[in-house]
Chain A
Amino acid sequence: MPDLHLDGRPLSVAPGTTVAAALALGSDGSARTSVSGERRAPLCGMGICQECRVTIDGLRRLACQTLCRDGMHVETRP
């Protein structure tokens, strides 16, 4: 069971769960704050729209195309 941290809070998910799904399992589902301050959540689910950009262990990645791994630190408010 991957154990990760989402915005500083611990979360356990089933193996094979995407970070996009983890956002909803562990929080309100949102991934980032837009230019004008709106919270945004995954939209296209397939790596195109860039709405699900999160910071994972210091790198900017797409949540919908990233599987949760043990020890990951995911931030939606960097």
Chain B
Amino acid sequence: MSAHADVLIIGAGPAGLSAALAAASDGAHVVLLDDNPLPGGQIWRDGVQAKVPAQARQLRDAVDNHASIQRHAGTRVVARAGASALLVEDAERGWVISYRALVLCTGARELLLPFPGWTLPGVTGAGGLQALIKGGLPVAGERIVVAGSGPLLLASAGTAKHNGAQVVRIAEQAALGAVAAFALQLPRWPHKLLQSFSLFDPRYRSGTRIIAALGTDRLEGVRLQRGNSVEELECDRLACGFGLIANVQLAQALGCALGNNAVQVDAWQATSVSGIYAAGECTGFGGSELALVEGCIAGHVAAGNRQAAQRLWPGRRRWQRFADALNMHFVLDPALKHLAEPDTLLCRCEDVPYAAVAAHTSWREAKLATRCGMGACQGRICGAATQYLFDWQPVAPRPPFGPTRIDTLMQLEGSTQSGH
């Protein structure tokens, strides 16, 4: 089974939805893929306990009503299948999609760092908890501690509170000064739920970091440190993330140049590879408004309409300025590099402890000797952690780009010999 698109778009968050509409408005036949069951990406994630903003709903409806846009949910890219073709799979089948232009809107994920107890059931990412709640995770009456770093902590706490949880603490590792500087930008931050939590709420503590998750078979409490004082709190869930990292694996696998750990793009949202564009958080963090305009530009350029794209440059500049103002504040304290104890697991897929990994001097050596990074997540969690902890550079990903059914991989048999 194979298909063809004029413009193939990976990711149906704000950037991808916007790119799809722009390209379709220029007459392109668009195929839009997303690996989640519903479109919206992270910020507009839909689900049984989600509240999707009106603007998001409008964009989704416009996409689904457009005759030249074909959207596939629950679909992920697993390999190149030729110079301009990708092998994809969903729950039922795998197939090859060829394209004239490709737009990568793969978004961002959270930086998750190891600390004692982080593998206990009950510990999730901060954005992770938000995503799980939107998908129906029951949290009513549960005591929740949100920890780590970044504006996502507030959004996560807001979603939890809105669904009946008792947020007992929000522990932001950044110092008060950094948080205050961020607070000045708050009124513009688009997420309504942020207003549920004022930064002057006594449950919000700056300069406070998680040092352990406590419990035997499941989370029962946390230990937090602020300055020299250590506090233990009982809780049912810990939502802990240390900021965002761009999802660049697919771009990297396709040969796109990276800069600052994000996909490098020019004014046309073009990557270093001809015919491949990128937009949204995967090119650098900036929030949904910036993602929308970047996606729009990328969609137009991918469909050959540079005029329409260029008209959007002033809008992009405006949102980029706001994004730049937001981005600087949540620097990670070097103490976070020392949270893990020797027996704290660093690679969760292969259960490799911190001490075993730290004994090596490069990602490749550590991988071969300990099997860290050889598991199902392909080093996305532990590789990002070791990049932060030890400055190890991860290597370019190989296909399959995620766990993939073998019968899907069999469909590569017809692909051209040189995929580059």
Contacts and interface: CB of A to CB of B under 8 A. Distances in A.
- A/B touching: CB–CB < 8 A: yes
Contacts of A14: 48, 136
Contact of A20 (B74, B130, B137, B403): B137
Contact of B129 (A34, A45, A47): A45
A37 to B, nearest CB: 9
Nearest to B348: A51
Contacts of A42: 124, 128, 132
A39 B131 contact: no
Nearest to B35: A47
A22 B135 CA distance: 9
A67 B91 CA distance: 11
B138 A24 contact: yes
A57 to B, nearest CB: 10
Interface in A1-56: 13-18, 20-22, 24-25, 28-30, 34-36, 38-51, 53
Interface string B41-58: 010000110000000000
Contacts of A49: 112, 348, 377, 380-381
Interface string B110-143: 1010000001011111011111100111100000
B349 interface: yes
A46 B127 contact: yes
Contact of B121 (A28, A46, A61): A28
B132 A45 contact: yes
A1 B97 CA distance: 35
28 contacts: A14-B136, A16-B136, A18-B37, A18-B47, A20-B132, A21-B135, A21-B137, A25-B136, A30-B121, A34-B119, A35-B349, A35-B350, A39-B218, A40-B348, A41-B121, A42-B124, A42-B132, A43-B112, A43-B123, A43-B128, A44-B110, A44-B112, A45-B127, A46-B131, A47-B36, A48-B380, A65-B35, A65-B37
Interface of B: 35-37, 42, 47-48, 74, 76, 91, 109-110, 112, 119, 121-125, 127-132, 135-138, 217-218, 247, 348-351, 375-377, 380-381, 403, 405
Interface of A: 13-18, 20-22, 24-25, 28-30, 34-36, 38-51, 53, 59-61, 64-67
Given A15-B48, A43-B112, 11 more contacts: A16-B47, A24-B137, A28-B121, A29-B121, A34-B119, A35-B351, A42-B124, A45-B132, A50-B403, A64-B132, A65-B36
